[in-house]
Amino acid sequence: MSLPHALLTSLLERPCSGLDLARRFDRSIGFFWPASHQQIYKELGRLEQAGWVASTAAEGARGRKKIYQVLPAGRDELRRWTGTAEDPPPLRDALLVRLRAEAVLGPAGVAGDLRHRLERHRRQLALYREIEQRDFSGRELSRAERLQYLVLQSGLATEAQQAALCEQALELLSAPEPD
Amino acid sequence: MSLPHALLTSLLERPCSGLDLARRFDRSIGFFWPASHQQIYKELGRLEQAGWVASTAAEGARGRKKIYQVLPAGRDELRRWTGTAEDPPPLRDALLVRLRAEAVLGPAGVAGDLRHRLERHRRQLALYREIEQRDFSGRELSRAERLQYLVLQSGLATEAQQAALCEQALELLSAPEPD
DNA sequence: GAACTCATGTAAGGGGTTACATGATTTA
DNA sequence: TAAATCATGTAACCCCTTACATGAGTTC
């Protein structure tokens, strides 16, 4: 139930419309809390009902475009929520189930998924490294920037770890049985 | 949609009842595909409908206990599924949203969640290390065991990485601003 | 026989995904 | 004016979570 707070965070960084939010999610906060535009529109409606954000019809823009911005009550709510604690989200990864299935079945073709996943993780890693170079390198960082960088580093570490798992598994599968 | 295949995998390792499955999930496959007993009962019903498992009333046991075992069609299905590929599951972690919120709000108490999470990850890490000592140390491992060990190592690496993130964030929050 | 545990379910509700709908504006 | 894009939604479905229900054996 963190989507509303992810939206408040993003809108605090910059007020914008629902579709703009959806686009920004695709390359920022959405890396660790993905959301479709359908979800975002519905949630923005709730946030407005709750009095946490306000919308104004965008001028000079096409159609029914609405710009949302965070109200003081929304900022208070985000601050309150940020101060609460939760358990880590449960891990749920089909690849690990496949590896266990391969263990019990004998050779069953899990290498295909491993290669697919390895390619995805390497691609994501490359994307995160681009962002690292572009936004966080070669200068002194503010407190806020260092926090944002830490979040990116978490993504880097996660992708690297998953890629390493795929590599180790592929190596294991191609190795001969020990004597 | 991997719960049916997680159940097939677990039932191949050893046939058992729904409640036994639920208990085994709590300390094995459930580490990377959690499931409640309600989910498990419902899914076992579907698996039986599909002809992938068969149940027999348990003798010498109390009540309505049923023992499930995998049928050849179920084994075929598990083999088929193991050979397919999927994208990595989307990452969705409220802690990372909180860190971004703390970045945009200024101090908002995220340290509380960081300490809570650190404690959980350390506890999980200790549990995985116990399992490692108990099941995978001090002897030659078979192919199946090495695959299972790899899955456990993935859990170890994930928990260690998350704990490290919490430690780094706590350090950053307690450090003074640079000149 | 009352309380507890074992064992198997049912029901309600929420978040997320996928597919579809609709109107307005720009572009060819 | 036809097609493409912008912008905002609705609806159906699925998985998961939480709370509750039920019967059968065991223990005090």
pLDDT in tens, B79-124: 999 999 999 999 999 999 999 999 999 999 999 999 999 999 999 9
Do B29 and A172 make contact, defined as CB atoms within 8 angstroms?
no
| D chain positions with any atom within 7 Å of a protein CB | 6-11, 14-20, 23-26
Do A81 and B93 make contact, defined as CB atoms within 8 angstroms?
no
Average pLDDT over chain A, rounded to an integer: 95
| Calpha distance A42→A18 (Å, rounded) | 10
Percent of chain A with pLDDT over 90: 92
Residue A64's pLDDT is 81
Question: What is residue B166's three-state secondary structure?
Answer: helix
* Candidate from A49-63, A148-162, B20-34, B73-87 with smallest mean pLDDT: A49-63
Indicate whether B60 pLDDT > 90. no
CA–CA distances in Å: residue B22 to residues A131, A152, B44? 43, 36, 11
What would the two tokens of residue A9 be?
């965070």
Considering only the beta carbons, identify the residue of B5, B78, B158 that sits closest to A161.
B158
Indicate whether B74 pLDDT > 90. yes
Residue A61's pLDDT is 65
| Calpha distance A150→A147 (Å, rounded) | 5
For B64 and C8, how far is CA from C1' in angstroms? 7
For B76 and C18, how far is CA from C1' in angstroms? 29
Helices (H), chain B: 3-13, 18-25, 37-49, 72-82, 94-105, 110-136, 143-174
- Measured in angstroms, the CA of A14 and the nearest CA of chain B are apart by 10
Residue A1's pLDDT is 82
Residues of B in contact with A164 (CB under 8 A): 157
Quickly state the pLDDT bin for B28 (edges 50, 70, 90).
very high
